[in-house]
Amino acid sequence: MNKLIEFDEKNKVFHLHNDKISYILSVEEGGYLSHLYFGKKVNGYHGQLRYPRVDRGFSGNLPESLDRTYSLDSLLQEYSGVGNCDYRTPALDLQNADGSFAARLVYQGYEITAGKPKLEGLPAAYANADEAQTLAIFLKDEISGVEVTLLYTIFKDLAVVARSAKVTNAGAEPVELKKVASMQLDFIKQDMDVISLPGAHANERHIQREAIGQGRKVFESRRGASSHQMNSFIAVLEHNADEFSGEVYGFNLVYSGNHSFEIEKDQFEQTRVVAGINDYNFSWHLEAGESFQAPEVLLAFSANGLNEMSQNYHELIREHIVRGKFKHQEREILVNNWEATYFEFNEDKLKTIVDDAKELGIEMFVLDDGWFGHRDDDNTSLGDWNVYERKFPQGIKHFADYVHEQGLKFGLWFEPEMISIDSKLYQEHPEYLMQVPGRKPSPSRNQFILDLTQKAVHENVVAQLSALLDGGFIDYIKWDMNRHISDVYSVSLPKQRQGEVYHRYMLGLYEILETLTTKYPDILWEGCSGGGGRFDTGYAYYMPQSWTSDNTDAIARQTIQYGTSLVYPPSVFTAHVSAVPNHQTGRITPFETRGAVAMSAVFGYELDLTQLTDEEKEAVKEQVKTYKAIRPLVQFGDFIRLKDPAKGNQCAWMFVSRDKNEALVFVFDRLASAQPTLTLTKLAGLDPAKNYQDQKTKAIFSGSELMELGFYDPVKRHDFTADMYHFKAVTD
């Protein structure tokens, strides 16, 4: 493979590049790492562009120099340590054994390797020796002996750089880490906006865009999970950038716990982005010889707007994050009984749903919450992963066998990180429940968190799940987490290590997931946390798909799925057709629209199939047939956003096959109008020179016609409609 990373010895400049991007950094006077450039590919950098030296009042200088024009308070840096006359937010904050807050990170050397090393205990993108190269830069604070290793991986074919940081205490005394960011990126003055993905339970990942002003702004989660409330992603983009034009920088953390994305615009209108684990309630006691590994951030660059950034993330997540046999495997169409029955079911009732599912061509049945302990509502039994005999008198395997006999796969719901007070597990092991000694812990959904930092808890979870999975009758698991962490404390850790609990919880969870997914490679794992409460790239490393939102309303879902697609490919998010009136919003939408929204991702049903009319059953059969035909395109094609539902009465997106021979377009309209405004839908991503035939009308268009002229959307006489167009390239 060509060299992707160059080091110019003379100018002390590192240049990471591929056909799409360049990332350039250098070692400045005093050994500080300065940031020079990240953007479109540069052909040969000759070391001329350097940060200008300017004497600025109240911006101090290096102790070893009398040069008043050189200040860390203004220099664009790669990874700043606390306490060096740089008053902006640092990447590394720590307290030394003498009580001081100081880390002067000075360049020591570098190493370039083929491929991409693993990050110990953490999920991260992976790549072979012929797919990527990695630069390791070694920094050191001479006084304390604290060392920092920065990793930069550049992928051969993607406009992405993966960054992470590791701190090692090579000194003699312990240090207290207060903040260890994964990366920092400094920009010179530009007119830029920031996009984030805030939300709430059943209302996740809305696109929020605002101008970056002076001061510091933080997008974060303090909930012990990546959260519904603020996804672990931001983009910084030119003020005029849109879906198809303008420069965009994406930052996505490969981590499922507390995160923070800080944006600080300084006195010179330079912008600093610092991202990583949230420093809220965080400290890490680092004994001499110990290391702390911060998670990875995936930096994406696009010179052509947000869609191109998303496509880079989609490819990266599909090819370098998702692992195992399901990576390239089409995912089954499932029916889940949650909204069909909630807790009220027994084996006989479920069998009727399974029978209908078989009839309709559905491929998997997922038994959701309520099958274990004595769970008739959400107040009991979490932690007791043994079958509820009243509902399954002959055991769970008996029912699973029935499902298999009908030719369907069998999936099961778990919520392994939780404990109910009303459970055998709590009676036997009250110490497993995470709480602060002497204080009553706060319930949420009347349940509590298991302290996954304890080895015994970890073993208990693995043992209970293994006991079921060893039976060999489970094909799929939905791993849920229905509350966020509070009352943060671990009885297994000493006083000075209580600031480590949030992160140790994540390390415990990742270890459990690594153990189970390795032990049971044939099981498809679906992540869930009350819908999309832990919907992140770290989770996708273990769970090839995740439940996008508990909100199954087709209209609300358009906004949720539109925002989700900013980072995540449709192959990792799941969407189900549910009953009307919708259980979350009360809205009534046409069956066809519910189908079209759900078919835009990993498809399924979440309703009582036995309650459907004959006409609706025919519609299901038709949807199932259609989805099976379009599935490879939806799950593995390129996804392009066309119309943002937040900006008008319509939402539209499309899928294009890699060879550009097939395209699938979805256009959704909301409210009908007596005097409708005529709208056009213009496509993107097609081959302008190819001709495409609409599979329904047989009309033929050139790719450039579809992209430049577009087509008129039909006038609507109903609310909440959907149109699906399927184009295939034709040769004449």
Q: Is 58 left (phi over 0), alpha (psi -120 to 50) or beta?
A: left
* Per-residue binding letters, 422-461, with ligand GLA (x by CB under 6 A): ----------------------------------------
When asked if residue 255 is in the footprint of ligand GLA (CB under 6 A), the reply is no
Residue 10, SS3?
A: coil
Which amino acid would we find at residue 71? S
Check residue 338 for interaction with ligand GLA (CB under 6 A).
yes
Residues pairing with 298 in the sheet: 162, 252
CA gap 315, 300 in Å, rounded: 11
Specify burial of residue 287 (Cβ count, 10 A radius: 0-12, 13-18, 19+): exposed
Choose between 338 and 542: whose C-beta lies nearer to ligand GLA.
Answer: 338
Instruction: Indicate whether 579 belongs to the interface with ligand GLA (CB under 6 A).
Output: no
Binding residue (CB under 6 A) for ligand GLA from 90, 250, 508, 530 = 530
Amino acid at 532: G
Q: Provide the minimum distance between the beta carbon of 468 and ligand GLA in the complex, in angstroms, as a whole number.
A: 17
SS3 state at 154 = strand
| Partner residues linked to 24 by β-bridges | 15, 37
Catalytic one of 279, 356, 368, 550? 550
Query: Minimum CB separation from ligand GLA for residue 553, in Å?
Result: 14
Q: Please choose, from the candidates 159, 210, 152, the residue with its C-alpha nearest in 3D space to the C-alpha of residue 185.
A: 152
Q: Cβ-closest residue to ligand GLA?
A: 369
* Identity of the residue, 21 or 418, whose beta carbon is nearer to ligand GLA in the bound complex: 418
Of 391-399, 456-464, 524-532, 716-724: span binding ligand GLA (CB under 6 A): 524-532
Q: What is the DSSP pairing of strand 409-414 with strand 364-367?
A: parallel
CB of 709 to ligand GLA, least distance (A): 43
Least Cβ distance, residue 645 to ligand GLA (angstroms): 22
Q: Choose, from 93, 451, 475, 480, the residue flagged as catalytic.
A: 480
Angle at 548 between CA 257 and CA 307, to 5 degrees: 90
Nearer to ligand GLA, 342 or 473 (CB): 342
Nearer of residues 378 and 514 to ligand GLA, judged by Cβ: 378
The beta strands (E) that lie in 518-572 are given as 524-527, 545-547
| Under rule CB under 6 A, residue 550 binds ligand GLA | yes
Residues 385-424 within binding reach of ligand GLA (CB under 6 A): 413
Nearer to ligand GLA, 338 or 627 (CB): 338
Residue of 71, 164, 420, 482 that binds ligand GLA (CB under 6 A): 482
Strand partners, 183: 275
User: H or E element: which one contains 21?
Assistant: strand 21-27
Q: Which stretch binds ligand GLA (CB under 6 A): 394-402, 462-470, 527-535, 620-628?
A: 527-535
CB of 367 to ligand GLA, least distance (A): 10
Least CB distance to ligand GLA at residue 301 (A): 34
Cβ nearer to ligand GLA, comparing 163 with 391: 391
**Per CB under 6 A, which region of 77-85, 113-121, 355-363, 526-534 contacts ligand GLA?**
526-534
User: In DSSP terms, which residues pair with 347 in a beta bridge?
Assistant: none
Q: Are 437 and 491 in contact (CB under 8 A)?
A: yes
Find the shortest distance in angstroms from Cβ 560 to ligand GLA.
13
Any idea what the Cα angle at residue 237 is, between residues 231 and 243, rounded to 5°? 85
Place of tokens 């392994």: 416
Residue among 247 and 475 whose Cβ is closer to ligand GLA: 475
Q: DSSP character for 708? A: I
Please list the residues that pair with 304 across neighbouring strands. Answer: 246
Q: Which of 531, 637, 645, 703 binds ligand GLA (CB under 6 A)?
A: 531
Q: Which of 532, 567, 564, 536 is nearest to 551 (CA)?
A: 532
Question: For ligand GLA, which stretch binds (CB under 6 A), given 163-171, 285-293, 528-536, 625-633?
Answer: 528-536
* Token pair belonging to 121: 């205990």
Between 276 and 383, whose beta carbon lies closer to ligand GLA? 383
User: Segment 81-110, which members bind ligand GLA (CB under 6 A)?
Assistant: none
Question: What is the spatial distance between Cα 215 and Cα 443, in angstroms, rounded to a whole number?
Answer: 37
Considering the complex, what minimum distance in angstroms separates the CB of residue 196 from ligand GLA?
A: 23
Q: CA-to-CA distance for 19 and 563, rounded, in angstroms?
A: 28
Beta-strand ranges (E) seen in 393-543 are 409-414, 418-419, 448-449, 476-479, 524-527
Contact criterion met (CB below 8 Å) for 637 and 684 = no
CB 658 within 8 Å of CB 630:
no
- Interface residue with ligand GLA, options 158, 523, 528, 624 (CB under 6 A): 528
DSSP letters, 274-316, are EEEE--TT--EEE-TT-EEE--EEEEEEESBHHHHHHHHHHHH
**Side-chain-facing half-sphere of 384: CA atoms under 13 Å:** 21
Task: Please tell me the count of residues contacting ligand GLA according to CB under 6 A.
Answer: 12
Annotation says 480 is catalytic: yes
Q: Which is nearer to ligand GLA, 199 or 246 (CB)?
A: 199
**Residue placing its CB nearer to ligand GLA in the complex, 415 or 713:** 415
CB of 572 to ligand GLA, least distance (A): 16
DSSP 499: G
Whose tokens are 């706060």? That residue is: 442
Phi-psi region of 467 (alpha: psi -120 to 50; beta: other; left: phi over 0): alpha
Question: Smaller CB distance to ligand GLA: residue 127 or 528?
Answer: 528
For residues 379 and 361, is the Cβ–Cβ distance under 8 A? no
* Residue 480 interacts with ligand GLA (CB under 6 A): yes or no: yes
Q: Which is nearer to ligand GLA, 166 or 483 (CB)?
A: 483
CB of 350 to ligand GLA, least distance (A): 15
> Phi/psi at 243 (nearest 5 deg)?
-60, -30
Site string for ligand GLA, 609-648 (x = CB under 6 A): ----------------------------------------
Residue the block writes with tokens 């602060």: 436
Q: Which range touches ligand GLA (CB under 6 A), out of 16-24, 130-138, 466-474, 523-531?
A: 523-531
Shortest distance (Å) from residue 552 CB to ligand GLA: 9
Kindly write out the interface string for residues 179-208 of this chain, putting x where it contacts ligand GLA by CB under 6 A and - elsewhere: ------------------------------
| Minimum distance, C-beta of residue 204 to ligand GLA, in the bound complex (Å) | 11
Q: Residue 489 is encoded by which pair of tokens?
A: 């404390």
| Interatomic CA distance for residues 548 and 570, integer angstroms | 10
Q: C-alpha angle 189/194/200, rounded to 5°?
A: 160
Q: Determine which residue in the list 262, 319, 347, 368 makes contact with ligand GLA, applying CB under 6 A.
A: 368
The contact set with ligand GLA (CB under 6 A) reads: 338, 368-369, 378, 413, 480, 482, 528, 530-531, 547, 550
Active site residues: 480, 550
